[in-house]
Structure 1
Amino acid sequence: MPSPFPGMDPWLENPRVWPDVHNALAGEIRAVLNDSLPGGYYAQLEERTEIVAFDGDESFKAVPDVGVGRTSDSDGGAAVLTGMRTEVTPSVRLTADDLPTLLDVGVYDLSNDLVTLVEILSPANKRQNRQEFLEKRITLLRSDAGLVEIDLLRRGRRVCGDSIGGPTVRVPVGTAYLVLVSRPWERGEPPYPSEGFCWHGWFLNLADPLPVVPVPLREADGEVPLDLQYCFNAAYDRGPFRRQASRYAEPPDPPLPPPAAEWAAQRIAAWRNAR
């Protein structure tokens, strides 16, 4: 059974629930990409270890993201899963005029085979491990790899607003969730910002479905569409989340403002009645 919400479920942002959501979503994205990528490309989980604090206690969590690599094999077509959308959702183009001066950071060692990194942000990206994450981010933006950055967490400072991690993005007031895509061939030449640099952004409210975004390949090969709502729905339905209806008896963490909380309560009531 699908989530009560048309897009992201704000109850899944809870720090104790989010790691499972993160890993499940990464796995679904990997599966969808491996069904959609043309021959010569593959997607695999990229594991990183980070410190996550719960109630003052720090613990280490291995959190996978999704990397798109290139192989010399030509097997595998561009199969599309049933029900998955393929038309890219319109984005907001953000030009270099919107960007402040970039600060240089240390170089992060990237694999030469990396084509695009699909990054699902975690609480540690925004807080405990923010500096390390920003350094990795700017190194990636200075490479020939693409970046898909998915922020489904309302808590914490947006990393796209920190110039240490690359040219920044002005996020509209009231944005709940955010997806950014950077195509390598639209970056111009470092140092950034430069005339050719731009982001493609999707700024989402609670009522918005997650978008279909492009996953850049090599410029000559273009890109493939990735339906994030399809991936989220699969992660929700195949995971434990639909079995945990009791979570909706308590406010989400972080809480919703009153108008959004009322709307969410109506969604949850309709969802319960349909079960």
Structure 2
Amino acid sequence: MPSPFPGMNPYLELPLFWSQVHTHLIVAIADYMNPILRPKYRISMEQRVYTDTNNDDNLELVGIPDNIVFSPSSNSSETSSNIAVAPPKVQPLPITIPQPETVKEWYLQVKNVETQEVVTVIEILSPKNKKVGEGRNKYLKKREQVLMSLTHLIEIDLLRKGEVMPMNVDDRIKSDYRIVISRSYNRPKAELYAFNLAQEIPSIPLVLKPEDEAPLIPLQELLHSIYEKGSYDLAINYQKQTLDNLSENEQTWINNLLQEQDLI
């Protein structure tokens, strides 16, 4: 069954599905573009591995009994009793302790077959890239290295949540999703594809050497194919699984769209 959304399916952004979708999209781009790029270029899947210890949001008290008081007791105004009352026994509280997490992030490199020069890097952002912390810092450092080189950068952001990557954009330009294409010979200028939930994902040029024509990456077509081949219609329960970070108008639009297709 095809995706009910004309553009990005926001349910695919849920943590339950996004890791799979991210990997599927990386593979789909490589599989689609390699026959077009040969024999001069080849897309390779690369992996960035790092340790993330910034899990402070996982350290919290859970299941605290209602009768536990953490503040010191004050003197009672009532007449004190001569009967000695034993203080309550100290009880253990359940907590979680942050532990180092090995993070593996896939991305794509377009290489010149003859020289092995990395011509273009394609990044699909993950939640850790968009959340303040170690994962974002690692990505921004890698991003800066690419932007300081002769390599083109294509940065695809299909996640509504999180911090937007650094860029100088008119404050009036607001969007749910964005794709940035930074051509090495045109920096610091770049191209921004800004689009929203109700819009189709644009096809974007895969920038190569100036003398070579840039073929289009049909992101919408690839994502629809991933949805169908992955049987995500069987995995997503549109009636029970909920989305946050939506405006009232967006929620109404989604409800109407799903009702029209008898999904809720």
Give the alignment's TM-score, normalised by structure 2. Answer: 0.76
How far did residue 46 of structure 1 move?
1.2
The correspondence for 1:236, drawn from 194, 203, 227, is: 227
Deviation at 1:173, TM superposition (A): 4.6
Tell me the distance in 2 between the aligned counterparts of 1:244 and 1:68: 33
Alpha carbons 1:26, 1:66 under 8 Å: kept? yes
- Which AA in structure 2 matches 1:144? L
CA 1:264–1:239 in 2, change beyond 3 Å: closer, same or farther?
Answer: same
Q: Helix, strand or coil: the match of 1:272?
A: coil
Equivalent residue runs for 1:113-124 within 5 Å? 113-124=117-128
Question: How far did residue 146 of structure 1 move?
Answer: 0.8
User: Residue 48 of structure 2 contacts residue 104 of structure 2 at CA under 8 Å; is this kept in 1?
Assistant: yes
> Do the aligned partners of 2:6 and 2:198 also contact (CA within 8 Å) in 1?
yes
Q: 1:37: Cα distance to partner?
A: 1.4
CA contact (8 A) 1:160 1:169 kept: no
The answer to whether the 8 A contact 1:66-1:119 is kept is yes
1:19 and 1:63 in contact (8 A); partners too: no
What secondary structure does 1:66 align onto? Answer: strand
Which of 147, 158, 171 is the equivalent residue of 2:164? 158
What letter matches 1:250 in structure 2? Q
Cα offset for 1:247?
A: 4.5
Q: What letter is aligned with 1:114? A: V
1:45 to partner: Cα distance: 1.0
Letter in 1 for 2:117: D
- Kindly indicate whether residue 241 of structure 2 is the aligned counterpart of residue 199 of structure 1: no
Give structure 2 stretches of 5+ with no counterpart: 59-97
Q: Residue 138 of structure 1 aligns to which amino acid in structure 2?
A: E
- CA deviation profile, 1:5-43 (whole Å, cap 9, x unmatched): 111111111123211111111111111111321421011
Please give the alpha-carbon distance, in whole angstroms, between the structure 2 residues aligned to 1:207 and 1:268: 13
Say if 1:22 and 1:63, in contact at 8 Å, map to a contact too: no
Counterpart of 1:63? 105
SS of corresponding position for 2:49: strand
- Residue 240 of structure 1 deviates from its aligned partner by 3.9
Question: Is 2:117 aligned against 1:146?
Answer: no
Higher Rg of the two aligned structures: 2
Q: Is the 8 A contact 1:15 1:54 kept in 2?
A: no
Q: Does 1:227 align with 2:218?
A: yes
Question: Per-residue deviation at 1:121?
Answer: 0.4
Inter-partner Cα distance in structure 1 for 2:20 and 2:49: 15
Map of 1:186 onto structure 2: 186
Structure 1: 5+ residue stretches without partners? 74-111, 162-167, 188-196
Task: Give the number of aligned pairs.
Answer: 220
CA distance in 1 between counterparts of 2:23 and 2:205 reads 21
**TM-aligned CA distance change 1:120 to 1:223, over 3 Å:** same
Q: For the residues of structure 1 that align with 2:237 and 2:24, how far apart are their CA atoms?
A: 20
Aligned Cα RMSD in Å?
2.4
Is contact 2:11–2:236 with CA below 8 Å preserved after alignment? no
- Structure 1: how far apart are the matches of 2:159 and 2:20? 14
Q: Which residue of 2 aligns with 1:255?
A: 245
Amino acid at match of 1:115: V
1:245 and 1:16 map into 2 onto residues whose CA distance is 10
Q: CA deviation at 1:171?
A: 6.1
User: C-alpha deviations, 1:168-199, integer Å up to 9, x for none?
Assistant: 33464541000110111212xxxxxxxxx311
The one-letter code of the counterpart of 2:218 is: D
In structure 1, C-alpha distance between the alignment counterparts of 2:129 and 2:151, rounded to whole Å? 20
Higher strand share: 1
State how 1:56-135 maps to structure 2 within 5 Å: 56=58, 59-72=101-114, 113-127=117-131, 128=133, 129-135=135-141
Please give the TM-score of this superposition, normalised by the length of structure 1: 0.73
* 1:8 alignment partner, SS class: coil
2:74 is aligned to none
Is residue 272 of structure 1 aligned with residue 262 of structure 2?
yes
| Sequence identity percentage | 30
CA distance change for structure 1 residues 171 and 180 in 2, over 3 Å: closer, same or farther?
farther
